[in-house]
Structure 1
Amino acid sequence: MNDSLNPPVQVRGLAKSFGANQVLRHIDFSVARGEVVVIMGPSGSGKTTLIRSLNFLEMPDSGSIRMCGIEIADAGPRPSGETRRKMREIRKKTAMVFQSFNLFAHMTALDNVIEGMVSVQGIRKAEALPRGRELLGQVGLLEKANEYPGRLSGGQKQRVAIARALAMNPEVILFDEPTSALDPELRGEVLKVMRDLADKGMTMLVVTHETRFAKDAADRIIFMEGGVIVEDAAPDHFFGAAASQRSRDFLGLIQD
């Protein structure tokens, strides 16, 4: 299959409003397999709504989303049974990492990692456990396998959340400001795991203000404002002299 003709993420004419507030206005973009796209922009620009729309945590009003070969067009607020079936299929092929971790407090780190494998994929727990331990090792937390989230730091919780996302063998991982709830000291450990994933060719869309990660790991930067894509450029362009004045003004406010 030609990835240029069938990219794992393709968005056309996406629009979303909350009451009278139009948050997304005719969004068009695609992401190639293995590409890392960072989405940046000021507060209220539509970044989080966009990333949440890609796996239908927010229901778009109009437009089409094609994820991992499955297309949904004009889902609307009351999707049909067929559309809901497609949404479930998309969620099996993608994973999302939230800024607030969203771990189950009553489960150990290891049980959090394998929960989706057992409850969604139907894998027996005894078979899922070795994979869960392998993934905790991948994010540097094997020694915390039996700890509960309440005994983990914020950075450790987020690394468990990334391991949980990887457990689903996703084709695409969506990150919604994964380091915004962390102290600066803890951000580095999470960003390192994300850089490692990028180096291994994982397709990733990352909403973040982490300019160092964007410079080091991103293939493209999408800059949003007012619900539209203002700029879609390679990092050297976005962070260089050729960037738009609006992008330079924004970077001046958040630059590390």
Structure 2
Amino acid sequence: MNTSVRTIEVQRISKSFGDNTVLRGVDFSVSKGEVVVIMGPSGSGKTTLLRSLNFLEMPDAGTVKVCGIEVQCTGASKPTREQQKKIRAIRLRTAMVFQSFNLFPHRSVLENVMEGPVSVQGVPREQAEECAMRLLAQVGLAQKAREYPARLSGGQKQRVAIARALAMDPEVILFDEPTSALDPALREDVLNVMRDLAKQGMTMLVVTHEIRFARDVADRVVFMDGGVVAEDTTPQMFFGASASARAKQFLNLIET
């Protein structure tokens, strides 16, 4: 990883939904090539933080800087034209993998992977198809290219979703609990694809409760609690004997 190049920088971002304050002045950063795992109890703000980075949720306050593009958040109900331009630029440089796959059911696996490059980036179809087939081979699903999502297992759908994210040639991939909807037997295939991406130097921010993945693959673990970053440390520290009492309590709950 290149610690001198920050792919993500977040300063004092806050977000509320009505009377419920979900993020309370969050600060953190992710360096180029780094794998950062976000953990924490339900309602701690993990997913809202992730969605704030590509503005699926617009923070009420603070600064979000992704791939060198900075957006100041003012709490306005609608982004300004300048903010919209910057948000689009961020989305072109990032990709997101959701827990619910979000594949187009009426399109084949190949068409799902091609959709972004063709429709958003204007890549010629022949070139997009060649890239999509290469990526499907990378995630072990080249043989499923002509199938439709309904005929795939959950683990296969998620690997297609990862191939679709990679097709946009992102600088960073955001993963929102990518294995939580999968049976234990299917999780490992998805995690192995993510491990390979980490080895290739992909910058990754992963919301997950997969302890082994966090321990073995992450460069850092960010522990959120009550809408703040309670800890930002190495896996060795977070999972070790010197972990905080709150972190140990949380880990005991998810390990049982």
TM range, smaller chain = over 0.9
Partner letter of residue 50 of structure 2?
I
Determine helix, strand or coil for the equivalent of 1:85. helix
Give the Cα–Cα distance (whole angstroms) in 1 for the partners of residues 3 and 217 of structure 2: 21
Give the aligned partner of residue 159 of structure 1: 159
Q: After TM superposition, list the pairs within 5 Å mapping 1:118-157 onto structure 2.
A: 118-157=118-157
* TM-score, scaled to structure 1: 0.98
Give the Cα–Cα distance (whole angstroms) in 2 for the partners of residues 93 and 51 of structure 1: 15
In the alignment, structure 2 segments of 5+ residues that lack a partner are none
Give the Cα–Cα distance (whole angstroms) in 2 for the partners of residues 72 and 224 of structure 1: 23
How far did 1:242 drift? 1.0
Partner letter of residue 84 of structure 1?
Q
CA displacement, residues 179-216 of structure 1 (integer Å, 9 cap, x when unaligned): 00000000000000000001111000000000010011
Q: After TM superposition, list the pairs within 5 Å mapping 1:69-218 onto structure 2.
A: 69-76=68-75, 77-218=77-218
How far did 1:6 drift? 4.2
Give the Cα–Cα distance (whole angstroms) in 1 for the partners of residues 111 and 231 of structure 2: 41
Q: After TM superposition, list the pairs within 5 Å mapping 1:58-69 onto structure 2.
A: 58-69=57-68
How far did 1:255 drift? 2.1
Runs of 4+ that moved beyond 2 A: 3-6
Give the aligned partner of residue 18 of structure 2: 19
In the alignment, structure 1 segments of 5+ residues that lack a partner are none
How far did 1:78 drift? 1.4
Contact kept? 1:59, 1:75, Cα under 8 Å: no
CA displacement, residues 3-45 of structure 1 (integer Å, 9 cap, x when unaligned): 6554010000000000011000000000010000000000000
Give the Cα–Cα distance (whole angstroms) in 2 for the partners of residues 52 and 245 of structure 1: 28
CA displacement, residues 68-125 of structure 1 (integer Å, 9 cap, x when unaligned): 0100011533110010010000000000000000000011001100100000100111
Partner letter of residue 13 of structure 1?
R
CA displacement, residues 98-156 of structure 1 (integer Å, 9 cap, x when unaligned): 00000000110011001000001001111110100000000000000000000000000
Partner letter of residue 26 of structure 1?
G
Contact kept? 2:113, 2:163, Cα under 8 Å: yes
* TM-score, scaled to structure 2: 0.98
Give the Cα–Cα distance (whole angstroms) in 1 for the partners of residues 248 and 224 of structure 2: 13
Give the Cα–Cα distance (whole angstroms) in 2 for the partners of residues 255 and 201 of structure 1: 29
More deviation, 69-78/177-186: 69-78
Give the aligned partner of residue 46 of structure 1: 45
RMSD between aligned alpha carbons? 1.0
Contact kept? 2:5, 2:32, Cα under 8 Å: no
CA displacement, residues 159-198 of structure 1 (integer Å, 9 cap, x when unaligned): 0000000001100000000000000000000000000001
Aligned length, in residue pairs? 254
